[in-house]
Each structure stands twice: as structure tokens, then as C-alpha cells.
């Protein structure tokens, strides 16, 4: 298969390197990723500034790689439009930091995968915990290879993202793989006033992550040592309440 | 009710002014919005830089207003955490430019409203076409006032966004209001190479919007002259395919 790899940690991130190293043994790979760190950029796109595209050499990899002066979603858009012919699947990651629950709304990694499905290309987003050791990235890369196979065999539709998270534990300790829904993640103590600035009213983000541990969600299973897989879609319509709201008006 | 108004066009945008002017007749309003234009920033948040908050005076309005050096989602987070006590509903808009179909994924306006629901506050996002005349903003503001009433009467849940679009036509020509799902919006001819730059490979976005006119979607009804209302939610899980994917593994 021809795979486009991207991420939101930048083209030089170790996650992209380890993922490509594993996948280029089996697939035709092109990397198109942001020129630098673009975490928490969500699904933002560059509409006013031009995008600068540079071919870059990534030591130890045989695949072609390009850096783009934009967001992860920009990378997918310009790759599909201008750089790579006929992409079979987009793989976004391996992200440094989980993308679990409603936190995926902030994620550049997941948004790049969602952008792929808007271009009618199925996609996989993959993340591990931010403090993970090297072997976690290697585990994640091997899981992605298997998930690509399974997705291809079963005909993953071109409007579906599989969001994958891999716990930062040794392979022998991983309990298995769970397909599950996303949970709700809330944050508390968002902002702390910074009194060192005498001219402006300044706040700094010092959030504490509070996960609602509903059973059978991604946050729940990852804490139990499972790799989690959640199929996502781009339609934010709340069909569960659509008919009710219709009656209101 | 106490309403928090925000947008992605900046605190000085006419959409915010006209909306506040209408709503402050009936409600207690606080405006917290980006210090400048932040369109297409989607659900991005500021995690590394501090946020600077300034009280600003908006001539002609009696409500308090604050500018924030961040994204629309940042504005909702810091407003709820630090600036406004007990917000009953967040109103995001009136955006300069429709937020229809899958284009809402890029929208800072809609993302601010989704962020409100992550903070357990119901929200309304409202937009009109970019070339709209002043009366379209005034129509939109009046529709929002009615929709707030209807939502309040019917107990809009705190995890629901109502995404509202108002066509740029005179009030007498508006056919009514349709509650409907979002459609898929695709873009073509995204990028054009800019050969004037001799040092870099540079592309500029010159998109043409292609709307899939499936019937009963927001894009379909807005073109027929209806105000559209779509209830949105923040759960991107594709429940329709969850069980099928479970069988794959």
C-alpha cells in the first residue's frame, strides 16, 4: 500500500521516525509533516499565509520526507493535492502524548487523520503516553502495522479514522486490544495568574487532567493495560437529539 | 440569563457588536473574545504561551468586554475559569462566513461553542455569509434571541451545541427555520504553486468550495432561504461501525 505518514510533533519527531522505520519494510511510504512542533493545533488550517514545502532527509530512513510550514491538516491537504499520487491510507503519529476521550478535539494528530477522511482516504491516528520509553514507540509501530493489515483486509471505509492509543508498558504486559468508544476528559485548575508581569493581566495554563472513568471507554481500558482502538467519524451532528430539537421550533 | 459571547473574528468584529446590542436588551452579557482575527483556528488551544487578558471598551455597548491573546476555545476556557461567574449559555458569533457541513471542523466559532459544552455549558454558534449586508447580522441576532428562548424553555442540555446559519437575505425573504443534519463540504483546487519565490517551494491556498447538495442538510436548506439549526455533540466515536470493528480484531 502507499501510505502517507504525518504527525503534529514535526517532521523530525522520534514518533514519525520509528513508525516509518517499521512500516517502510512493508509499504511504500511518503512523510509529509509540519516543519516544527504543532501540538494542540486541532483542525486549524493555514488560509492566509503561503505554505513552504521542503524535501528533508531523515537519516536512517529510505522514504521520502517533506516538511511543511503549516498545521497537520495542511500537511494532509497539500500532500494529497500536490505531493503524493494516490494515497491508500494516512497514518498520523506516533504522537508524544495520549489522544484519549474528548482531548482528541484539541489534537493535531487526530485532526490530520480526520482531514484524510474528508479527502476520502481512510486513516489511523496513533499515540502513546508522553513519558513513554523507546520500546513503547516500537510497540506502537508494530500495532499500527497489524491494524493497517486488519483494516485493509476488512475494507476500512474512506470516511473512518481509527484512533489508536498504546500504553507505555512493555509488550509482554500489554493485555490485548480493545475496540471502544471515547470517554469524556475534563481539566481543572486551568489558569493561574502570573503576577510577575506588571503591565498586563497574564494567565498561564496549569491544568490538571481529570478523566471520567466510565467503563468501556478508551481512558478506562488504557489504564488497565490495553491498546485502544476507536473508530471516529467527522459528522458532529447529534442525531440522538435531532428529532427532539425539530419539535422545539 | 447570563450569557458569554465570543467569536473567532476578534473582539472588535461587527458580528459580536450587533449580537451583543440585541441580546443585552434581555440578558446579562459578558464578551470574552480573541484580540484579533482567529478564523480557521478550529479547536486549537494555547498551551505554551501565557494568555494576556485586557478589558476593552466597545463603544455603543453597555456590556463588559475582554480581549484575550488566544484562540476562541481559550476564550471560553479562561472566561469560565477566571472572568465570569456562572455562565448559563455561550453564544459564539455572529461569524463572518457560513459554518456549514464539514467546514465546521475548521471553525473557531463552532469550536468555541463545543468547548463550552466540554465545560458543561450549553452553547449556540451563529454565522452568516461573508458578503452579507448589515441587515443579515441584525436578522441573525434576532433569530439567536428567539433560539435562546426556545432552547431555555426546552432545557437545552449542557452537552449540546446548536449550530445556526442565517442566509444573507432580507427578513421577508427568509422561508423559515429548518432543524437538519450537516452535509459534507469538499474543496477542490486547493493549492497553486507560487513561482515568484525563487528560494523556496511555496504554495498558496486558492480553494473552490464544492458543496454536496444531499437533501435535508444545512447546505441544502440555506440555499433555499432557510435559517438552519443543527444540534452538535463532541463525541466523535463512530457508533455506527463500533461493533463491526470490534469483530475485526
Instruction: Tell me which residue in B106, B233, B241 faces A43 most closely, judged by beta carbons.
Output: B106
**What is the ipTM metric for this complex?**
0.89
Q: From the candidates B236, B240, B241, B242, which should be mutated to test the interface with A, based on the most A CB atoms within 10 A? A: B236
Helices (H), B58-193: 72-78, 108-118, 134-153
Question: Domain tally for chain B?
Answer: 1
Residue A211: pLDDT band by 50, 70, 90 thresholds?
low
Decide if A237 touches B, using CB distance below 8 A: yes
- Between CA B115 and CA A105 the distance in angstroms is 9
Contacts with B113 from chain A: Cβ below 8 Å: none
- A61 or B200, which is more confident? A61
Does the distance separating the beta carbons of A190 and B52 come in below 8 Å?
no
* Nearest-Cα residue of chain B relative to residue A69: B202
What pLDDT is stored for residue B198 in this prediction? 86
Please indicate, yes or no, if residue B196 is contained in any of the structural domains: no
Is residue A125 in a domain?
A: yes
The answer to whether residue A154 sits within a structural domain is yes
Residue B148, domain extent: 2-182+214-235
Domain assignment present for B240: no
Tell me how close the Cα of B50 comes to any Cα of chain A, in angstroms: 5
What is the pLDDT at residue A141? 98
> For the domain that residue A241 is a member of, what is the CATH number?
3.40.1210.10
Residue contact A53–B201, C-beta within 8 A? yes
CB pair distance less than 8 Å for B235 and A44: no
Residue B190 confidence class, pLDDT cut points 50, 70, 90: confident
A193 within domain boundaries: no
Q: Which helix (H) or strand (E) holds B133?
A: none
**Domain contains A80:** yes
Partners of A245 in the beta sheet?
none
In a domain, A23, yes or no: yes
A105/B151 CB distance under 8 A:
no
pLDDT of A149-198, one tens digit each?
A: 999 999 999 999 999 999 999 999 999 999 999 988 766 657 888 888 88
Give, in degrees to the nearest 5, the angle at Cα A198 between A197 and A203: 40
Whether chain A has a CB inside 8 Å of the CB on B245: the answer is yes
Q: Work out the end-to-end distance of chain A between its first and last CA atoms, rounded to an integer number of angstroms.
A: 50
Cβ of B174 under 8 Å from any chain A Cβ? Answer: no
d(CA A113, CA A218): 18
**Per-residue pLDDT tens over the stretch A98-141:** 999 998 998 999 999 999 999 999 999 999 998 889 999 999 99
Residue A212 has pLDDT above 70, yes or no: no
- Let me know if residue B128 belongs to a domain: yes
Point out which residues pair with B158 in neighbouring strands: none
Burial of residue B194, with CB atoms counted within 10 A of its CB: 0-12 exposed, 13-18 middle, 19 or more buried: middle
The Cα B85–Cα B136 span in angstroms is 32
Amino acid at each position: 500500500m502507499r501510505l502517507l505518514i504525518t504527525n503534529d510533533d514535526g517532521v523530525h519527531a522520534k514518533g514519525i521516525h520509528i513508525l516509518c522505520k517499521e512500516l517502510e519494510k512493508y509499504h511504500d511510504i511518503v512523510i509529509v509533516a509540519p516543519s516544527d512542533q504543532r501540538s494542540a493545533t486541532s483542525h486549524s488550517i493555514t488560509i492566509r499565509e503561503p505554505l513552504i514545502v521542503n524535501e528533508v532527509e531523515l537519516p536512517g530512513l529510505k522514504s521520502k520526507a517533506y516538511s511543511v510550514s503549516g498545521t497537520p491538516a495542511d500537511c494532509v491537504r497539500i500532500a494529497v493535492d500536490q505531493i503524493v499520487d494516490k494515497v491508500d491510507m494516512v497514518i498520523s503519529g506516533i504522537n508524544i502524548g495520549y489522544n484519549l476521550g474528548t482531548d482528541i478535539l484539541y489534537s493535531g494528530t487526530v485532526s490530520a487523520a480526520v482531514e484524510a477522511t474528508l479527502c476520502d482516504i481512510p486513516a489511523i491516528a496513533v499515540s502513546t503516553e508522553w513519558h513513554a520509553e523507546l520500546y513503547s514507540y516500537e510497540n506502537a509501530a508494530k500495532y499500527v502495522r497489524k491494524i493497517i493489515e486488519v483494516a485493509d483486509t476488512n475494507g476500512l471505509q474512506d470516511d473512518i479514522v481509527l484512533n489508536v492509543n498504546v500504553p507505555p508498558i512493555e509488550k509482554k504486559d500489554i493485555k490485548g486490544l480493545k475496540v471502544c468508544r471515547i470517554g469524556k476528559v475534563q481539566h481543572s485548575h486551568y489558569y493561574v495568574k502570573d503576577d510577575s508581569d506588571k503591565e498586563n493581566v497574564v494567565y498561564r495554563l496549569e491544568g490538571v487532567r481529570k478523566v471520567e472513568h466510565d467503563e468501556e471507554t478508551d481512558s478506562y481500558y488504557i489504564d488497565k493495560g490495553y491498546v485502544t482502538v476507536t473508530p471516529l467519524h467527522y459528522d458532529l451532528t447529534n442525531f440522538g437529539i435531532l428529532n427532539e430539537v425539530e419539535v422545539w421550533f
